[in-house]
Structure 1
């Protein structure tokens, strides 16, 4: 997921998801409270996104132009970032936009889907109730720490944790009051309560089991919660709290500290900023300009617009870093013309999904940023190493396109003239320059990987206002709120997964995993093959970012130990997860592509397998030839 969200929660009996606010004009007290909560958090998160852009861009100007660094900028950005993450998580919770797996729940009848929607709310609320007091305790402990630059108590930052948890509890209660079926609510609360009581009573019996508890909590409990539709972040959190509370003597405040640590890496600030950049390039018309230029070059070739789709996704991914933003920028521009030329909707959405997987390594991919954050691998090296693997997979997809469209009838298609191509190029040139400006800014040391997104944002605003003259001010606040919501959902997963990864490490699991992986026959080849299979599965179940946060710190040291370059290994892992993320029937990215293309998921099931086979061959080639990933480092 990088950057994908599942908002199609299970459908309630009345035909709507109770994880999102009711679409009807409901004047009940609960609905009024829900709207009040929305007003309370949406304006601050929009302001926080703007503030982060201003602070980081001011830091670039002060350091690189004025040569007088702002020593407080990173510190203030870090304080505001935790508030952005937690309040963004509140917005995502209120909207029902936290990432969840509904593949199993979606196959049930409406009554059962409605019940499991309530289970998702109650399960999330159970986790929030568990952490709200330890989070308050943690914030209180932080009052004794003074920040070095601003010289204020660190409690101003840490207070975001209990405040965010408390507001999500309020949102959960409002949602439960909005549920029309009281029996579902009572049954769900009773079920969660009974299960909690059973585990608490079994606590003394669990402690002697040792690492078998890892299977019970981090396989059994997590799987049960995720498959029940409980959002992934809360599923991770419940399993971690249950494991530590019932089988160890670790104070729960320690887990809050680990969550804080996972969510507070300043490099992760690139997540909301690149998400915002992605929606900006769509709103300002820059994405459309790039796509139209490519279409003028290849529109007259058999399968030409399919090649354009592959190339456009490569270019747009290099700007936004968020897959949902990439697909939303490209599909509405190309799909109507492709359908007019006779392309089947299923083929279109299959190729769109495949290009989503193909471009996972194109900088500034959010998964690349996450890998650098949790493993210590140089993000500049990851940005450089990710370009060529994307090209290799693009060539593989182009071969499938050639095979499928080699007999396409183009008698009705007019070839663009040189003048038309030149005009499209001139119009697209400011947009085409943006990926190169972003990369050059990092390579030349103008900005860090965190700051560079602000250069892209300012550039896009200027281009939209003065070059393309397409800047809808009315869309700005919704875009900022959407950015915060998606970022909060991602960052809460990272925080919960960091806590889980810490618990796994403390249990000794990491040492056992390292011993098992290094002991595999065949050395690096077997290690890479096992990793490919494992991360395809993990990508379909957990999406990219949670899987990386959980297993990256464990597996990257093993890769170095068996002789696999860390950047090479990162490319193999990311591409494998991309296939899992976009492969039906479980890959949530596939359903996101269907939603963006307005295509029934059933129509793309058959044609996507040819593209997935090409992607797998491409991954094998990338794994077998390390130079593809590290040749330009």
Structure 2
């Protein structure tokens, strides 16, 4: 019966049924063939979303949309251009810098690609950057978003593992910065090699103005992060603080949020949140069926039967997650695979916080893995560049991401040092 569930799910994906409904339909087919009472299905779906910390997800989505609609994206890009534009390839470096700063607001790679790519890809093409490179650097840098806190996928990981949201957030700081800085180094090397343009150096008043324009928005990230870590409020309370703050900044400071815009942004956030909760519900149902069929135990037993060396276990898990992440939505992959793989990791004495960051980075790498990484498709569509050109230009960035993944795998203290300071 497990084969029916998995094969039907893959078939539904191949015929381009949205992943949430592919999960739901495969579960329904399994239930009908296994003679499971259909009343069980909504009950298991509801149990998957009836988790207090998940209440923070709609709040963070709404806060991010409010800040984005309030003009934050343009201000961040302008500020990064003032800081980095005078360096050769400065516009590409500003692209990565904007993703690193925007990360705390969006928290999702695809939204980062779409928001920043809509501005940066046309600008880079206009200034003479290779179109494929313009799309590739945008897609690659977007993977920094869900690593640098606050991050929606990190909240999902905390929900699934019972780990502290604050510790997961702080554990991801160094990996996120490493990923962004290494990508900047690669971009600078490519820019020098291809003689990409640079702008005149901005004056100190221009830099100061750019900083002041972004200050209030960036302050929200610090309030959220240190508020959660310091125990001032829970992640759910933090999401509400973020919404109120975003409303105040967007309406009173940036003055870009009218009542009509607020209503439209709220509606869009409701749609996004509803779609995400449906996905989480169906993924929980799918995971419950796998658990009933004892597939997690078989996978864990298979890996541990093959090797008990924790580095070999991590290597196998890394390969699996990069493959899965290249075609499956991040939240669904986490819901289905993370509980299974966490048991394997704990069995070979891998720290759960360290493992959680590794899992998330793997799935982010999958989003930009040629030829089917989702972020590559998004940037290709925005830039109107053939996917093969974007994929070819993305290989060096994929190499950098794999290098950071290898460093995190081999040196756990890169993720555990900062959380250890909180103990």
Determine helix, strand or coil for the equivalent of 2:115: helix
Q: Does 2:321 align with 1:499?
A: no
Q: Quick check: 1:227 aligned with 2:39? A: no
Partner residue of 2:28? 241
The aligned counterpart of 1:404 is 190
Question: Offset of 1:252 from its aligned partner?
Answer: 2.4
The answer to whether structure 1 residue 542 and structure 2 residue 302 are counterparts is: no
How far apart are residue 598 of structure 1 and its match?
4.9
What is the CA–CA distance in structure 1 between the aligned matches of 2:198 and 2:61, rounded to whole Å?
39
SS of the residue aligned with 2:354? helix
The alpha-carbon deviation at position 411 of structure 1 amounts to: 7.5
Instruction: Answer yes or no: is the 8 Å Cα contact 1:298–1:307 preserved in 2.
Output: yes
- Report the counterpart of residue 218 of structure 1 in structure 2: 5
Number of the residue aligned with 1:481: 267
Which runs of 5 or more residues in structure 1 are unaligned? 1-212
Distance 2:308 2:64 in 1: 42
1:302–1:408: 8 Å Cα contact kept in structure 2?
no
Distance 2:346 2:333 in 1: 19
User: How many equivalent residue pairs?
Assistant: 419
State the shift of 1:467 in Å.
1.7
CA distance in 1, matches of 2:414, 2:240: 30
Matches within 5 A, 1:552-563: 552-563=338-349
SS in 2 for 1:267: helix
Residues 628/558 of structure 1: CA separation in 2 closer, same or farther (3 Å cut): same
- Kept in 2, the 8 Å contact 1:289–1:431? The answer is no
Query: 1:594-609, aligned counterparts within 5 Å?
Result: 594-609=380-395
- Using the alignment, how far apart are the partners of 2:176 and 2:92 within structure 1? 16
- Residues 485-535 of structure 1 deviation map (CA, whole Å, 9 limit, x = unaligned): 222222212111111111111222222222222223251101111111111
Shift of 1:385: 0.8
Kindly indicate whether the alpha-carbon contact (under 8 Å) linking 1:283 and 1:472 is maintained by their aligned counterparts in 2: no
In 2, Cα distance between equivalents of 1:266 and 1:275:
16
Q: In structure 2, the residue corresponding to 1:353 is in which secondary structure?
A: helix
Distance in 1 (CA, whole Å) between partners of 2:258 and 2:55 is: 25
| Match of residue 313 from structure 2 | 527
Q: Closer, same or farther in 2 for the Cα pair 1:530/1:387, shift >3 Å?
A: same
SS in 2 for 1:608: helix
Q: Which residue of structure 2 aligns with residue 351 of structure 1?
A: 137
Structure-to-structure mapping, 1:199-348, within 5 angstroms: 213-215=1-3, 217-247=4-34, 250-348=36-134
RMSD across aligned positions (CA)? 2.0
- 1:544, distance to aligned residue in structure 2 (A): 1.0
Question: How does 1:407-418 map onto structure 2 within 5 Å?
Answer: 407=193, 409=195, 413-418=199-204
Contact between 1:259 and 1:495, CA under 8 Å: does it hold in 2?
yes
Higher radius of gyration, 1 or 2: 1
Q: Retained in 1: the 8 A contact 2:150–2:221?
A: no
* Counterpart secondary structure, 1:607: helix
Q: Cα distance 1:320–1:515, how it changes in 2: closer, same or farther (>3 A)?
A: same
Instruction: Single out whichever of 238-247 and 354-363 deviates more from structure 2.
Output: 238-247
Residue 599 of structure 1, CA deviation? 4.2
After superposition, the C-alpha distances for 1:199-251 in whole angstroms (9 at most, x for unaligned) are xxxxxxxxxxxxxx212x2321111111112222222222223323323x542
Per-residue deviation, 1:336: 4.4
In 1, the alpha carbon distance for the partners of 2:123 and 2:297 equals 54
Determine if contact 1:540/1:588 at 8 Å carries over to the other structure.
yes
- Structure 2 counterpart of 1:455: 241
Deviations 1:59-113 (CA, angstroms, capped at 9, x unpaired): xxxxxxxxxxxxxxxxxxxxxxxxxxxxxxxxxxxxxxxxxxxxxxxxxxxxxxx
Larger RCO: 1 or 2 (CA < 8 Å, sep 6+) = 2
Q: Secondary structure at the match of 1:363?
A: coil
Match of 1:469, SS state, is coil
* SS of aligned partner of 1:542: coil
Tell whether the 8 Å contact from 1:275 to 1:325 is kept in structure 2 after alignment.
no
- 3-state SS of the aligned residue for 2:88? coil
Note the C-alpha offset of 1:632.
0.6
Distance 1:583 1:271 in 2: 27
TM-score (norm 2): 0.93
8 Å contact from structure 2 (residues 122, 383) kept in 1: no
Give the distance between the partners of 1:372 and 1:413, measured in 2 at CA.
43
C-alpha contact (below 8 Å) 1:278/1:326 kept by paired residues: no
Instruction: Indicate which of 582, 596, 617 corresponds to 2:368.
Output: 582
